[in-house]
Amino acid sequence: MRNKKALIRKLKQEMANAETYDEWQNAALSLDHLEGNDEWKRIDKSSLYDYTLISRRLEQLRLCHRTNDMAQLTRALREGLHHDLGNMGNHKLYEKSHIGTKKLIEDYVSQVCYSLDFLCDNDIDALPLDKKLGFFEDTSLSFGRPSLLLSGGATLGLFHLGVVKALWEHNLLPQVIAGSSVGSIIAGIIGTRTDDELSELLDRDDHDLQAWKYLGLKGLLLGRGIYDAKNLEQCIRKNVGDYTFQEAYEHSGRSINISVSPAASKNQKTRLLCGYTSPYVTIWSASLASCSIPGIFPPATLIQKNANNALSPYLPLHRWVDGSVKSDLPIERLTHLYDVNYHVVSQTNPHIVPFIPEGGHPPDPSWSNLPWRMIKSELEYHGKGVFDFLRKKAPTELLRQTAGHAYTVMAQRYYGDVTIAPSYKLSDYMMITKNPTQEMLRQFMIDGQRATWPQISMIKAHSQISQTLEQCIKRTKRRLKLKIFS
């Protein structure tokens, strides 16, 4: 018994210190075997999900392949694919073991993806190319898709790069990526690169991200902020280029979304800039605005490309500031724009991370936590009421703006369906406005990967089918194009 406890501690330490996913996975699998979780994975039955429904769906798909009934397979996929079927994405199903979940769920997801790829890559008499494309597009629309949201957090937000790398290596990086403040810089870096360029980028840890240049109180008194916005602009443009939102999508196939807030106007609201809402705005100017924290960096003007490809101000009478103040995670807007129904959040805001529940999910209601939930709800309700009143009725503009920021901070949702966050130490807070060294960047990236690896199984259960549908659409479009021009 003593040896078993020592081995468990050793394996947990190996997981905590793993430098690669393979190292982490080997330790996690050994730990699951040692703790008896392997048997739990093999048993289909559980009250946490509808195992009977999923088992029947799985057998139906397998039967279609055995009998080579492609018409029935197409029908079974079209009417049977639903996001979170039978509650198989229930986070409790991924907390029992250190890696993986019920084998039935993993088998079902794998079979669906195999069936979709089979239909995509083989000639089916009952499904010519044009109908095949329609089938994949309709199924994708009804199934939904995931998104990745990258929060603010200044230099601490470089943790996002590790999260992106872990998702990328497992083919789980969503096509829809949103960012605010530093998250907008990372979203811009990722969203302006093709797959090959992104692979090369994520294999490096020598990125030039020297965004901070101190101006001091003189800069603040002159209305420029205590840090140099020109230096920040040069850093962003060096890493993102001069792409507009539309050009970035055409180049990479990824949809970038950046939150910005109006600096002062009462008649402008927080905006989500993207290829749909502002196709000709440059990503670097949107990111610069989203990083413009009042007092730290001055408000920024958005820059667009005109019909002649020349740069010019967009809404020249308005200036914009940090999007994370009012819309750190634009979950509702993404849902409407992109049919997103699953949100992966990388949360690094230093004032939020300490309050994120372990595992990133709020605790289930119970009698034991009822008093705390009641107190919390009362504080939130009355706090929002006070700040809502002050932001509308306070006698001075400064107090109204301050109350407005406080209200939006309290009213926001800072977590997603999966929330990936670092574990901050006091020393981490000292790095918020530091230019990262190569060693700091390397540490941020491995921290982001280690925090993401335990979530891979749950993200895969939710996202792999939609990712496969998107790839099938791309491949089918290419085949149709070749057919037309052949």
Residues annotated as part of the active site: 181, 322
Alpha carbon distance 123, 126 (integer Å) = 9
Q: What is the CA angle 151-156-158, rounded to 5?
A: 75
Alpha carbon distance 284, 310 (integer Å) = 15
Consecutive H or E run containing 178: strand 176-179
Query: The tokens 């009042």 sit on which residue?
Result: 294
Spatial contact of 324 and 349, defined as CB atoms under 8 Å apart: yes
Tell me the torsion sign for CA atoms 175, 437, 327, 302.
negative
Strand-pair category, 418-420 with 340-346: parallel
One-letter amino acid for residue 193 of the chain: R
Alpha carbon distance 242, 170 (integer Å) = 29
Alpha carbon distance 376, 307 (integer Å) = 52
Alpha carbon distance 45, 360 (integer Å) = 26
3-state helix, strand, coil in the chain (%, to 5): 60, 10, 30
